[in-house]
Structure 1
Amino acid sequence: MTGDLQTLRNFLLRPRIDLSPWPAERLWLPVSGGDQLAARLHARDRLGERPLVVLIHGLSGCEDSIYIRASARFWLSLGHPVLRLNLRGSQPSRPRCRGHYHGGRSEDPQSALDALVSRERSAARQGLILVGYSLGGNVLIKLLAEAGRRLPVRAAASVSAPIDLEATSERFHAPRNRLYLRWLLTLLKREAVAPPAELSAAERRAIAEARTVREFDDRFIAPRFGFADAGDYYRRCSGLRFLPEVEVPFAALHADDDPWIPDDAYAEAARIANANLRIHVTDGGGHVGFHGQGDPRPWHDRAIEAFVRAAG
């Protein structure tokens, strides 16, 4: 139960994360097909003075997810500018997105960051620190393998990333997770059909009729993005297969009591011969939890900051 309590802590307590000391401005960053990703940029005046920290949310999350706001406050309090980036089709991006994201659509944050660095040239002077949470962490790993050196990335990290999507799907659909499954599927469906999403009648029917997340991936995500089925999508987009190609300092943080993501893929990741990788599996922490007593800052924020400092 400890892992579940860590996972549910923010949902149950709904802590208020005050970011008002660091006013943010709305940015719209272009991606393919005419869509734009919404983002919140805090402390623009610090661009060029300290590395810009970019935070990428997980499945059905957004810039206002509590873990994103908590991390934003952590990094802002250390003097960094922060960008809270929303994926394509998430609630803040949806007004200017007809399309949708998935666990391997790394070209979207890549395009958005390209546009940001081009627009805010001072951001490149001190470089970027990229942090991805849950599914956003998987997207980030693929991005780093494809474009990590082309972008001015100083260091990066993932928190509770499902680096083996097939194994994560199996674990998530276990009977013990049925309440999680029902909750997440409801959010996924609502997000996918929100206007102005561009969907065919068949896609709307597939979304409505999906009874599991795997069915949602098999009947909507896979055909929409050219995968043979959910299994093909999971195989081709799992972060584990991209870790050998990461060419920047990268830390992957995971808890052994995560109720959704099994440990096996992280044990395999730890055996990869890539000096840029640091794989850290803790004895507890749940899924994007890592809450402790005596410090309101989640352990993962403190661990990533220490990793970034060590990486130089």
Structure 2
Amino acid sequence: MKNTAFKPVWWARNSHIQTILPLLTKVKSPALTRQRLNTHDGDFVDLDWLSQPERNKPIVVIIHGLEGSAQSHYARRMLMACQQQSICAVVHHHRSCSGEPNQLARSYHSGDTQDVTGTLKFINDTYPNSPIWAVGYSLGGNVLCKYLGEKQSQSLIQRAVIISAPLQLNACAKRLESGFSKVYQSYLIKQLQQKTINKITHPILGEHMPISKNEVSALRTFYQFDDKVTAPLHGFAGVDDYYHRASGLPFIANIAVPTLIIHAQDDPFMTADVIPNPEQLSPLVEYELQPYGGHVGFIQGGKPWRPNFYLEPRVLNFLSCNKNDSNNK
């Protein structure tokens, strides 16, 4: 385990400042070009491209977190950082997160590697000479971790970074039921409730939903929501089966490409259960545990109204390390 030189600015040592302030800070969004991919089951996922890929140049695939998108603060910052370094980047949107409802009752979840696999295969088939790098945030980080562990040496990704990932879903769900963390849970649950209601009231999709409209308002925790909606919609026996099978932690040992995992000890979404033991780490995984940083925060300087962040240079520095080797795809 490594701890690099991240030091939060004095006014941002509080985990909630680290987590909330980035949500309130305006981040410029570069021009993006949308591309829709049809899925094998009759649905779609949307990709937002920063620029046209160039032969032999890497493509950074950004995988957003729960209810995130290309407009999330961390995605915008990474896109801007890639643009400044003339690196091609694309945001993979989970189903229903690109601003348009998906076409099936099912949506996405923390262990859903199927759609990411489809996106990566499309990119690899279309741009076979371009190495693929990936960065996953929060839920997207867990998905990325699970994908890398499942595919092992067959991964289409050459280098990866996983940030603030809930690698033990059960522990993280319980953490969000206590203290100020309940505020984050409430904010996200309301969004999930509304999407669920929209599908229940849909003339066709409603027939396939496992819950009635009147029952949705009672789902006030992730544990309740995942038990009554996520698990049955996606083929799990229940919430415990879902959390067990979808958590990324057991997959880390099988990762076969250079990967950086970054956590903050003060992350209000997490507990120490997400921290892997040394024997759980693949030799190709570099694990970075910071004492501060909040959830996808890592503010290191600047002013409260114009902070600067640790993540973007750290991520791109890791991804571009041994660039010559990774280009020999």
TM-score, normalisation: structure 1: 0.89
CA separation in 2, counterparts of 1:112 and 1:50?
18
**Matched letter for residue 313 of structure 2:** R
Counterpart position of 2:293: 285
CA separation in 2, counterparts of 1:148 and 1:63?
27
| Alignment partner of 1:309 is 2:320 | yes
Which of 128, 132, 135 aligns to 2:136? It is 132
Matches within 5 A, 1:267-286: 267-268=276-277, 270-286=278-294
Matches within 5 A, 1:34-73: 34-44=42-52, 46-73=53-80
Unpaired runs of 5+ residues, structure 1, are none
| Alignment partner of 1:4 is 2:44 | no
**Matched letter for residue 50 of structure 1:** K
Deviations along 1:136-166, one digit per CA (max 9) or x if unpaired, are 1001111112235434322001110000101
Unpaired runs of 5+ residues, structure 2, are 1-12, 324-329
Matches within 5 A, 1:209-220: 209-220=218-229
After superposing the two structures, state which structure 1 stretch, 83-92 or 229-238, moved more.
83-92
CA separation in 2, counterparts of 1:9 and 1:310?
30
Alignment length, in residue pairs?
303
CA separation in 2, counterparts of 1:140 and 1:76?
23
**Matched letter for residue 21 of structure 2:** R
Structural RMSD (CA) = 2.1
After superposing the two structures, state which structure 1 stretch, 46-55 or 71-80, moved more.
46-55
What SS does structure 1 have at the residue aligned with 2:280?
A: coil
CA separation in 2, counterparts of 1:50 and 1:183?
39
| Alignment partner of 1:30 is 2:45 | no
Deviations along 1:78-101, one digit per CA (max 9) or x if unpaired, are 111010110012243525555300
| C-alpha contact (below 8 Å) 2:141/2:165 kept by paired residues | yes
Counterpart position of 2:10: none
- Structure 1's 172 and 246: CA in aligned 2 closer, same or farther, altered over 3 A? same
Query: Which structure is higher in RCO with an 8 Å CA cutoff and minimum separation 6?
Result: 2
- Structure 1's 296 and 125: CA in aligned 2 closer, same or farther, altered over 3 A? farther
What SS does structure 1 have at the residue aligned with 2:159?
A: strand
TM-score, normalisation: structure 2: 0.85
What SS does structure 1 have at the residue aligned with 2:205?
A: coil
CA separation in 2, counterparts of 1:273 and 1:215?
31
| C-alpha contact (below 8 Å) 1:57/1:68 kept by paired residues | yes
Determine what percentage of the aligned residue pairs are the same residue.
27
Which of 164, 169, 172 aligns to 1:168? It is 172
Which of 149, 157, 160 aligns to 1:156? It is 160
After superposing the two structures, state which structure 1 stretch, 96-105 or 189-198, moved more.
189-198
| C-alpha contact (below 8 Å) 1:164/1:265 kept by paired residues | yes
Greater percentage in helix: 1
